[in-house]
Amino acid sequence: MVKIYQHSIGQGSTIVLVHGWAMHSGIWQAFAEQLAKRYQVICFDLPGHGQSEALDDFSLAEISEALVTSVPEGKFCWLGWSLGATIVLDIAQRYPDKVSALVLLAGNPLFTQTDEWSGLQLNLLEAFAAQLQADCQATLLRFLSLQVNQLPDFKVLLKQLKVAVLEYPAPDKNTLQGGLDILKTTDLRVALAETIVPVSVILGTRDTLVPVLVGQQIKALAPNVELNIIDKAGHVPFLSHPQELLEIISRFVPVRLDKRGIKQSFVKAANTYDGVAKLQRQVGRELLGSVDIKQCNGVLVDLGCGTGFLTSELVGAANYKHLIAVDIADAMLKTTQRKLGSKDTINYVCADAEFLPFVSASVDHLFSNLALQWCQNLTAVLLDIKRVLKPEGQLVFSTFGPKTLQELKAAWATVDNYNHVNKFYSAAQIQQFLEGAGFKDIQCVSQLHVSYYPAVRSLMQELKGLGAQQVTDRNKSLTSKTTMQKMYMAYESLRISEQIPATFEVISVIAKA
């Protein structure tokens, strides 16, 4: 087995970075360090590049096998740049059990231009191939200049590229020629159209190798793909526009939620939840009131059932054959079971919403009330819900939107720059995720609920009683009493008629599989 060099930095959800032709993983260094503040980042040297051993046959199949064999167990987001985008798309096709999402950065499923597809002119690639034989170093330098020559700071960027590439000897001619052959002959348009994992394509308006026009052709080919265009970026946006690129990736690859902490929070909250869940009950009733509940028959699922409020409402109103209550916390399920008792038509399943233990096309209606906001990858969750729903099956759920606890966010913002409140998807983003997962007849409505409390401490105690105090991407150190008091004082300035307000944006969704 060929030896593949890799190094890993950071913690959290994993993103695997695969570089482009003639490069090595050092090209990512500054960008990877920024990315590692939020994720675990694995950087590879392609076979025959940098510190990795060369392959006898530098083909797409051999490269993909070498990389997949080198990664740890699990599914990851693979980010490929240029030739790397072709490679990660091939990996998704050959090894779907290793891929949770794809980011195609300055990449193209068909790199060369045809009558119906925008790409690099074939004669340019052929010229590269011919020049490799005559002067390898000069060919590499010409290739580098093409990547940055239309950018205002191209001299600085070209210097960065040269320094990175010259850190190690250039790949041998067979490896370089093999890479050009892959770009010249590979057509993965069908693979892109048929992939079931979330895909983000990121292009630059000044890219001379992958024309920005190809973005619309990709969308026509694969409508579920997320397309991002970085204005005035060329072929190396991780060097020229790192912050814009980081923002795109951060939206596409959610930071890993601490599921262990969330589960423990809900276990602890099982005995206090009902006493402070007024909003949840109100939203749940409104959610069920938005559908003809008497027509909900067959197999029903209450996903994230908590202490069983929505489950009990379904028991009383729906004409179901089987009802399955699902929650990540066993203590919550036991509370639900104590309320509803043991019945042949009700099952209790302890499971994570991100790993549904149901066979495909087995559920008629799936309900979820203020639970899916705890899922780190809503796109993947919706794809799996679509899988378990029968054709024309119905998804009905509510979740929090980005305006939730906006007063608390503003109060904390006066104290420090850390996250103290979870970030939630907007209605527009959820609509896009649903469409991408293949749902239809989508109704997505946002509504603001404002609750009032006698003091900030009362709000904080309620959030704790709901098990909702887990926050992603937050400061790991303990918050001091002084800092907490400053936040309380800032929040107090919002007091209205002896009470403080707390806004909750609730997004309600009805969709068909």
pLDDT tens track, the chain, 513 positions: 799 999 998 877 899 999 998 889 999 998 999 898 878 899 999 999 999 999 999 999 999 999 999 998 888 999 999 999 999 999 999 999 999 999 999 999 999 999 999 998 888 878 877 777 677 777 777 777 777 777 777 788 888 878 887 888 888 888 988 999 999 999 999 999 999 889 999 999 999 889 999 999 999 999 889 999 999 898 999 998 999 999 899 888 865 544 454 445 444 544 544 444 678 888 999 999 999 999 999 999 999 988 888 998 999 888 899 999 998 888 888 888 888 877 778 999 888 887 788 888 999 999 999 888 877 678 778 888 999 999 999 999 999 998 988 998 899 888 877 767 777 889 988 998 898 888 999 999 999 989 888 888 888 877 765 444 444 444 444 567 788 888 888 998 888 888 989 898 999 999 999
The first and second tokens of residue 160, run together, are: 């960065």
Contacts of 214 (CB under 8 A, 6+ apart): 108, 117, 118, 119, 203
Tell whether 269 and 248 lie within a shared domain: no
In a domain, 409, yes or no: yes
Q: The domain spanning residue 326 has which CATH number?
A: 3.40.50.150
- d(CA 387, CA 297) in angstroms, rounded, equals 19
Tell whether 269 and 177 lie within a shared domain: no
In a domain, 432, yes or no: yes
In a domain, 34, yes or no: yes
Per 3-state DSSP, what percentage of the chain is helix, strand, and coil (rounded to 5)?
A: 45, 20, 35
**What 3-state class would DSSP assign to 104?**
strand
pLDDT confidence of residue 462: 75
Q: The domain spanning residue 244 has which CATH number?
A: 3.40.50.1820
Tell whether 17 and 113 lie within a shared domain: yes
From 207, 274, 364, 384, active-site residue: 207
Tell whether 99 and 63 lie within a shared domain: yes
Tell whether 222 and 309 lie within a shared domain: no
In a domain, 364, yes or no: yes
Residue 448 domain boundaries: 259-512
pLDDT confidence of residue 110: 97
**422 CB-side CA count, 13 A:** 26
Among candidate residues 196, 222, 252, the one where a domain is terminated: 252
Q: Is 327 a catalytic residue?
A: no
From 64, 82, 240, 508, active-site residue: 82
Contacts of 379 (CB under 8 A, 6+ apart): 101, 198, 433, 436, 437
Tell whether 228 and 351 lie within a shared domain: no
Radius of gyration of the chain (CA): 26
In a domain, 367, yes or no: yes
Beta-bridge partners for 40: 14
Tell whether 60 and 133 lie within a shared domain: yes
**What 3-state class would DSSP assign to 391?**
strand
Tell whether 218 and 288 lie within a shared domain: no
- Dihedral (Cα; 130, 134, 138, 144), 10-degree rounding: 20
In a domain, 160, yes or no: yes
Q: What are phi and psi of 321, to 5 degrees?
A: -95, -45
Burial label, 339 (beta-carbon count in 10 A; 0-12, 13-18, 19+):
middle
In a domain, 1, yes or no: no
Among candidate residues 233, 252, 271, the one where a domain is terminated: 252
- d(CA 345, CA 299) in angstroms, rounded, equals 10
Let me know: does 198 contact 226? Beta carbons within 8 Å.
Answer: yes
Q: Is 207 a catalytic residue?
A: yes
Enter the pTM of the model: 0.57
Q: Which helix (H) or strand (E) is 396 found in, with range?
A: strand 389-400
Q: Which helix (H) or strand (E) is 261 found in, with range?
A: helix 259-269
| Cα–Cα nearest to 39, from 419, 425, 378, 473 | 473
Tell whether 59 and 103 lie within a shared domain: yes
Among candidate residues 209, 224, 252, the one where a domain is terminated: 252
Q: What are phi and psi of 6, to 5 degrees?
A: -150, 155
Contacts of 368 (CB under 8 A, 6+ apart): 302, 303, 304, 353, 396, 397, 398, 399
Tell whether 263 and 248 lie within a shared domain: no
Count CB neighbours of 120 within 10 A: 20
Q: Is 82 a catalytic residue?
A: yes
In a domain, 182, yes or no: yes
- d(CA 284, CA 294) in angstroms, rounded, equals 16
pLDDT confidence of residue 352: 80
* Structural domains in the chain (count): 2
pLDDT confidence of residue 217: 96
pLDDT confidence of residue 353: 80
Tell whether 208 and 299 lie within a shared domain: no
From 235, 241, 365, 420, active-site residue: 235
Tell whether 346 and 246 lie within a shared domain: no
